[in-house]
Structure 1
Amino acid sequence: MSKKLKKLLIYIMATLGVAIFLSTLYRNPSPLLDSFDNRLRDYLFQIRGEIPTSDSVIIVDIDEKSIKSLGQWPWSRDKVAKVLENLTNSGVAIIGFDIVFAEEDNSSPHSILKKYNIERENIPNYDEIFANTVANTPTILGYVFELEDKPHIAKTEPNIPGSISGKFNDFSINAYGTILNTPQIQENGYSSGFFNNIPDNSGIIRSVPLIISYNKDTYTSLSLEIMRLITQTESIYVDANEEDGIQNIILNDITIPTDRHGRIMVNFRGGSKTFEYYSALDIYNNEIPIEKLQDKIVLIGTSAIGLLDLRAISFDSVYPGVEVHANVIDNIIQGDFISRDVFLDIFEEYAIYILSFLIVFLIKYTPFWMNPVISLVFFAILMITAYWCLFDLGIIINIIFPLLTILLCTIIATLLDFFYEIKQEEAIKKKFAAKVSPEVMNNLLKNIDNNDFQAMEKEVTVFFSDVRGFTNISEQMATAKDLIEYLNEYMEPMSNIITKYEGTIDKYIGDAIMAYWNAPADVQNHADKAVKASLEQIGHLSELNDYLSKNKKPLIDIGIGLNTGPAVVGEMGSTGRSDYTVIGDAINLGARLESLCKYYNSKLNISNFTKEKLEEEYNFRFLDLVTVKGKKEAIEIWQVISQGELSSEMKEELEIYNKAISLYKNSDFVEALELFKIGEENENRSNKRINSIYIERCEYYIQNPPIDFNGVYEHQTKG
């Protein structure tokens, strides 16, 4: 066999191996890959941007303005009844509640007198008033299904007048219980629908169930029930088969494509407030012109943060749940559905094989420098095709597997090219014998004949970390070898995390690590990458300490300091021995911030200079406005807590703390002291130490009122 034929066979076998591997993954879908696929599709929605609504659906919003004027939710039922009456008098077509009235109105005079066994005639009963209003207005009530088998859940069945036909019960979502309106309200409603919004594995709502089965019966969603009544459909037909599950839900002449479980993929019109919103207060006061409400489909819900009906969608991470239902109704009205056809599974699997061979052999027979160009062209074609299919044809195609095919085949073809056609050149070994960073090595090889490594000023983000109580830890080790092995178990994952986020490790100083970002090579968003690396290191400690505990070794706790600023970077040292490093005031400040972690009992301190450079969202705690030893300029010290949603307890803690800090800065030490004491006394607080610090300062300033207080604290030591 000739070398040329052998080479061709190797290309074919490698390509076939990649295609078989990807097609196997495709047939056995992974939640992680599905999540990536959905994320990519989210970007297409964001690229498309907002699109017009049908202008048929409006939202009456129980917003902050309404709550401020009419009182905290839930309102007395007579107020809600007045909203319904005013909407009905304005000629709206139908009203849907994205709210369930599961309990009686305790504010009703009737309920209050009944509680105290006081009998009076003609006492207003707000529940009765509301129920009668529901009965005499075009109102569709909402309720919720319990989708998990919880103890003590209600088993009452909803009551709807419509019927559903078709053989589909093996595929629809099953409920275990219900949360209904009170019987008095439920029985007076003409109809009702559930308003469950079910996020996918990544916590984002992309689809909404139109039907749910419960106790061998099937019930419609609020959106579908509204459209059933609007279209005067007596019986909804569910089109399903044993192989593919549910395919369509049919209302008279409207065919709604769904997934196999009866969920509609929502073609969102845009971010929050894409639909017309009217404050419930304005409806209550009858301040909206009739022409803006007449013949509209009205959904009553809330955008108030405190009422917790906020969701995440592809456009927006804080999105009112009621607007999800508005999108579903608008999709049905306009008929611009997006769905995934069953035949695509076979087509996409074949496409993996075709695309694999096409890319590999294009790369094989084109110059090496064309490899990234070919990948980018195929990626552009993929995204344009996905966009066109999604928004012009309404067809959802898989994006992640074609993308993986492009990436893996490009890598395989490039490696084969490298193995066969590219000879590695010998580089000067002595030049980087003193170098420890791979990035520095690569730059030395590329710039061997010039002076690019001479010292220069550059903005960097510097990182310092240190193991707490290392002296005590070292004393517990039997031998120096044991200590080194122990340190390596910590250093290796921490170092890997730094390099993962494009950081350069400068040096190890005993148990401490010094690293930096944006040198020698430019690193985009270097402050963000430094913070992310630091948070990941802190998160990894839990896993590492589990391992150390099992092996009866001391646990590890660390403090990290980050600072961003100008520094001198370059080769420094003697003629025979040099090192690529960074020096300057910004570096010294980073070291000070790390040493102050112990003082503030924090794990990750950053300066205001780093905070100002961050592009992404994080959760912070303001620690102090200080001057550190050797410096006159005041700097802000911030604790980075996490990235992502905070727990309700942490939100409450930070709200109290931030209010206390604000009072402290305004020299209101007495009120600040009370709030700081709350933080110190609560044993569940995450950082009692910082409250103790400010308690001590407030008590001092109360006794010794300062003149021209500027909030600056001077640290006399390094930590």
Structure 2
Amino acid sequence: MNKYRKKAIKKFLLYFFVSIIIAVFSSSIYIFLPKLPDSIDNRLRDTLFNIRGEIPNTDNVIIIDIDEKSLSKLGQWPWQRNKITKILENLTQNEIGLIAFDIVFAEEDNSSPHKIFEEYNIKKENIPNYDLEFAKTVATTPTVLGYIFELEDKEHLAQGSPEIPAIIVERNKQLGVESLIKAHGTILNIPILQNNSYSSGFFNNIPDNSGIVRSVPLVISYDDVIYPSLSLEILRVITQTNKVVVNYDEQGIENISLGDLQIPTDRHGRILVNFRGKEGNFKYYSAIDIYENKIDKKELKGKIALIGTSAAGLLDLRATPFESIYPGVEVHANVIDNIIKGDFIYKASWIDGANITLIFFLSIITVLMITYTAFWFKPIGTIFLLCSFGVFSYYVLFTQGIVLNIFFPLATIIFAAVITTLFDYFYEIKQEEAIKKKFASKVSKEVMDNLLKNIDSNEFQAMEKEVTVFFSDVRGFTNISEQMNDAKKLISYLNQYMEPMSNIITKYEGTIDKYIGDAIMAYWNAPAEVKNHADKAVSASLYQIKELEPLNKKLQEENKPLVDIGIGLNTGLAIVGEMGSSLRSDYTVIGDTINLGARLESLCKYYDSKLNISNFTKEKLEKEYIFRFLDYVKVKGKNRPVEIWQVIDFGNADKVLQEELDLHHKAIELYKNSNFKEALEIFEKLENNENKTNKKIYKIYIKRCKEFMLAPPKDFDGVYKHNTKA
């Protein structure tokens, strides 16, 4: 395993560990301080309800509303019981399915005639008793009464207990598990009503800490006896179930069973209400219209009628996820409709484990996303994760009915994104410092900036890549060093030359590989991509040659040796990357392409050229240059022949130079075609030209032509073999 892969694995493990730490931190708060952000979590879920909007109900439940219209006609509440009796009778005559009161009749009707007669001690037979008449009607109609439990321990609490016409069984309850809501007292209907009713149920609506009703208890414990809610009792009566089973698991209550019907609850026996929408989602009928029997029988037949109030003065208004003012009676309508339709929402007993798993999963995903994406994508990716989890929570809530915690996963995403961004920032600073330290003196600012932008890329891994390699060498440096005979002066002299040459290389986006005494090795297109790298290498080389003139002028003034150089360029595939040992390594290039570049530089002396390039480099050039073909050779150690070209300058040659080059290239073609005699004539003519631009090339070809004329080679292909490096 190479060290780059080890480094990548080390980085992955580091950030993975960071994600685990973040997840453990979030999970710890979730486990040990679960109530802290409950209000925010509930508000987020309320938002999902509002996004979903209203949904239709089953149309099985209607509400008989003691509204402002009814109060204005029948008088202030409480009404005389004979009026309520008439409402029950009218509903029964219209074949109502079941009637339930979201009202408790805790006091006798003081307006009843018999009560008035008693008050004045008047004895007379057959005086109407509205409470008795109401009780008889309750007993002979499908009516379920309501009552209230006192959940706080107060003084002077009523201690009566309602009768339960069903068996309530606790199943799988473990010793020490006490999760039921406990009541301390009751507010019951007056005995004559309570005793004449077939059944009754409590209608306590318990808001959460934020004052919003999101759940309703289906069972409450009082004096070690379990009592059903009004909604649960209505469903029990409808399903004609005689036994209610409260099922437990390790956490508390898991669900409540009515025969084959299972109602999922939280551990305290509360059903989370899947609200159908805003107030009025269920059909409301004014109590006065029922009293006056104005409602079509078809609208009432077989329905469950809840009698309650929406009048503000009667104080039965609640806050729900949809509205801050919502009739309490409609909360019960929602619960009954939920149970009938079966579209429950609930917190399963395993939900804590699921929430913690989500926290860990989202922490890991967020950290890795932030770590391995571009800087501009990080906020987009974070928002995408937040929205994705929102959509996931919505889907799970309204299609599967599972209530996930929303706050902690969202908070984990944000927290993980912030922490990882900060961590990544400091990590990248460290990486940048390492890169700057390694390459600050080797590459141009543009290349450095590109490396830092792609700090997490594979730029430093060993790979095969096309490069243009550069070698330069000071001519006659041995003599120069002998002349100076002072190490400090020699180093100063070399630095005086190296400084401008190095600046030119980095200016044209080259990477300086190393200084080898008086020689410079550099390359283009590594570690970062360099567009038109061959052109930039040639441009840098020509400008170095041009820089020699002002440099030599200054050296002459300082009475120092003048500088002359040779440069070789080659383009091709090479192995690039950081190489060395674990103790010391360097980013460099190796391969045949590099070796050929070095040979081309050493052949500058042979051909009297300052800049030699291969045909591989020439083929990559896009700008205009003045070229002279030098030779078609096999260099030492290579079997594949290569063309060597001299680059004289930028642009196009002047007339005199162009004429010389045209003649030279004509002679070269004759030479390649074995027309040595004709080639010799042209080479001799060029050699005798006083304005010739190369003093040695023509001598080389004159000598070859004469030798080949004396001993013509067989199957001549124009290739000359160099048996030495220079």
TM-score by length of 1: 0.57
| Paired position in structure 2 for 1:236 | 244
Q: Write the letter of the residue equivalent to 2:43.
A: R
Counterparts of residues 70-219 of structure 1 (less than 5 Å): 70-167=74-171, 168=173, 170-219=178-227
Q: Write the letter of the residue equivalent to 1:318.
A: I
Q: Write the letter of the residue equivalent to 2:394.
A: Y
What SS does structure 2 have at the residue aligned with 1:142?
Answer: strand
Whole-Å Cα distance in 2 between the matches of residues 305 and 63 of structure 1?
9
Whole-Å Cα distance in 1 between the matches of residues 166 and 354 of structure 2?
39
Pairs aligned (count): 422
Whole-Å Cα distance in 2 between the matches of residues 328 and 306 of structure 1?
24
**CA-to-partner distance for each residue in 1:194-253, whole Å, 9 max, x for gaps?**
000111111111111111111121111011101001001011111113x12111111111
Q: Does 1:390 align with 2:402?
A: no
Q: Does 1:222 align with 2:230?
A: yes
Whole-Å Cα distance in 2 between the matches of residues 130 and 339 of structure 1?
39
| Paired position in structure 2 for 1:256 | 263
2:24 counterpart (20, 27, 30) = 20
| Paired position in structure 1 for 2:342 | 335
| Paired position in structure 1 for 2:453 | none
* 5+ long unaligned stretches in structure 1: 424-719
What SS does structure 2 have at the residue aligned with 1:193?
Answer: strand
Q: CA deviation at 1:9?
A: 6.3
1:246 counterpart (253, 264, 268) = 253
What SS does structure 2 have at the residue aligned with 1:192?
Answer: strand
Q: CA deviation at 1:171?
A: 2.3
| Paired position in structure 1 for 2:63 | 59
**CA-to-partner distance for each residue in 1:459-511, whole Å, 9 max, x for gaps?**
xxxxxxxxxxxxxxxxxxxxxxxxxxxxxxxxxxxxxxxxxxxxxxxxxxxxx
Whole-Å Cα distance in 2 between the matches of residues 6 and 131 of structure 1?
80
Q: Write the letter of the residue equivalent to 2:240.
A: Q
Whole-Å Cα distance in 2 between the matches of residues 381 and 77 of structure 1?
56
What SS does structure 1 have at the residue aligned with 2:284?
Answer: strand
What SS does structure 2 have at the residue aligned with 1:213?
Answer: strand
What SS does structure 2 have at the residue aligned with 1:60?
Answer: strand
Whole-Å Cα distance in 1 between the matches of residues 308 and 16 of structure 2?
59
Q: Write the letter of the residue equivalent to 1:332.
A: I
**Is the contact between residue 46 and residue 315 of structure 1 (CA under 8 Å) also seen in structure 2?**
yes
Q: Write the letter of the residue equivalent to 1:280.
A: A
**CA-to-partner distance for each residue in 1:662-683, whole Å, 9 max, x for gaps?**
xxxxxxxxxxxxxxxxxxxxxx
| Paired position in structure 2 for 1:44 | 48
**Is the contact between residue 22 and residue 352 of structure 1 (CA under 8 Å) also seen in structure 2?**
yes
Q: Which moves more between the two structures, 263-272 or 352-361?
A: 352-361
Whole-Å Cα distance in 2 between the matches of residues 253 and 416 of structure 1?
55
Q: Write the letter of the residue equivalent to 1:187.
A: N
Counterparts of residues 367-378 of structure 1 (less than 5 Å): 367-378=374-385
What SS does structure 1 have at the residue aligned with 2:344?
Answer: coil
Q: Does 1:267 align with 2:271?
A: no
| Paired position in structure 1 for 2:625 | none
Whole-Å Cα distance in 2 between the matches of residues 418 and 255 of structure 1?
53
Q: Write the letter of the residue equivalent to 1:39.
A: R
Q: CA deviation at 1:13?
A: 4.4
What SS does structure 2 have at the residue aligned with 1:143?
Answer: strand
| Paired position in structure 2 for 1:697 | none
Q: Go from structure 1 to structure 2 and tell me whether the alpha carbon gap of 1:6 and 1:388 turns closer, same or farther (over 3 Å shift).
A: closer
**Is the contact between residue 31 and residue 201 of structure 1 (CA under 8 Å) also seen in structure 2?**
no
Q: Write the letter of the residue equivalent to 1:402.
A: P
TM-score by length of 2: 0.56
1:405 counterpart (404, 412, 424) = 412
**CA-to-partner distance for each residue in 1:43-74, whole Å, 9 max, x for gaps?**
11111111111101000000010001111100
Q: Does 1:307 align with 2:301?
A: no
**CA-to-partner distance for each residue in 1:147-205, whole Å, 9 max, x for gaps?**
11110010001112111112458322111110000001111111100000111111111
What SS does structure 2 have at the residue aligned with 1:31?
Answer: coil
Whole-Å Cα distance in 2 between the matches of residues 353 and 223 of structure 1?
39
**CA-to-partner distance for each residue in 1:432-481, whole Å, 9 max, x for gaps?**
xxxxxxxxxxxxxxxxxxxxxxxxxxxxxxxxxxxxxxxxxxxxxxxxxx
**Is the contact between residue 60 and residue 279 of structure 1 (CA under 8 Å) also seen in structure 2?**
yes
Whole-Å Cα distance in 2 between the matches of residues 8 and 250 of structure 1?
50
Q: Write the letter of the residue equivalent to 1:23.
A: S
Q: Write the letter of the residue equivalent to 1:387.
A: Y
| Paired position in structure 2 for 1:297 | 304
* 5+ long unaligned stretches in structure 2: 431-726
Q: Go from structure 1 to structure 2 and tell me whether the alpha carbon gap of 1:9 and 1:95 turns closer, same or farther (over 3 Å shift).
A: same
Whole-Å Cα distance in 2 between the matches of residues 332 and 14 of structure 1?
45
**CA-to-partner distance for each residue in 1:550-607, whole Å, 9 max, x for gaps?**
xxxxxxxxxxxxxxxxxxxxxxxxxxxxxxxxxxxxxxxxxxxxxxxxxxxxxxxxxx
Counterparts of residues 531-542 of structure 1 (less than 5 Å): none
Q: Write the letter of the residue equivalent to 2:247.
A: D
What SS does structure 2 have at the residue aligned with 1:174?
Answer: coil
- Displacement over 3 Å in runs of 4+: 1-14, 420-423
Whole-Å Cα distance in 1 between the matches of residues 200 and 72 of structure 2?
29
| Paired position in structure 2 for 1:612 | none
Q: Does 1:363 align with 2:367?
A: no
Whole-Å Cα distance in 1 between the matches of residues 7 and 141 of structure 2?
84
Whole-Å Cα distance in 1 between the matches of residues 258 and 357 of structure 2?
35
Q: CA deviation at 1:5?
A: 8.0
Counterparts of residues 564-643 of structure 1 (less than 5 Å): none
Whole-Å Cα distance in 2 between the matches of residues 182 and 215 of structure 1?
20
Q: Go from structure 1 to structure 2 and tell me whether the alpha carbon gap of 1:337 and 1:4 turns closer, same or farther (over 3 Å shift).
A: closer
Q: Write the letter of the residue equivalent to 2:301.
A: Q
Q: CA deviation at 1:7?
A: 6.2
**Is the contact between residue 236 and residue 251 of structure 1 (CA under 8 Å) also seen in structure 2?**
yes
**CA-to-partner distance for each residue in 1:87-144, whole Å, 9 max, x for gaps?**
0000001100000000001111211121122222222111111111111111100000
**CA-to-partner distance for each residue in 1:497-527, whole Å, 9 max, x for gaps?**
xxxxxxxxxxxxxxxxxxxxxxxxxxxxxxx
Whole-Å Cα distance in 1 between the matches of residues 104 and 55 of structure 2?
31
| Paired position in structure 2 for 1:652 | none
Q: Write the letter of the residue equivalent to 1:43.
A: T
Q: Write the letter of the residue equivalent to 1:179.
A: I
Whole-Å Cα distance in 2 between the matches of residues 5 and 87 of structure 1?
75
| Paired position in structure 2 for 1:348 | 355
Q: CA deviation at 1:29?
A: 3.5
Whole-Å Cα distance in 2 between the matches of residues 372 and 116 of structure 1?
81
What SS does structure 2 have at the residue aligned with 1:117?
Answer: coil
| Paired position in structure 2 for 1:280 | 287
Counterparts of residues 492-507 of structure 1 (less than 5 Å): none
Whichever of the two has the greater Rg, that structure is 2
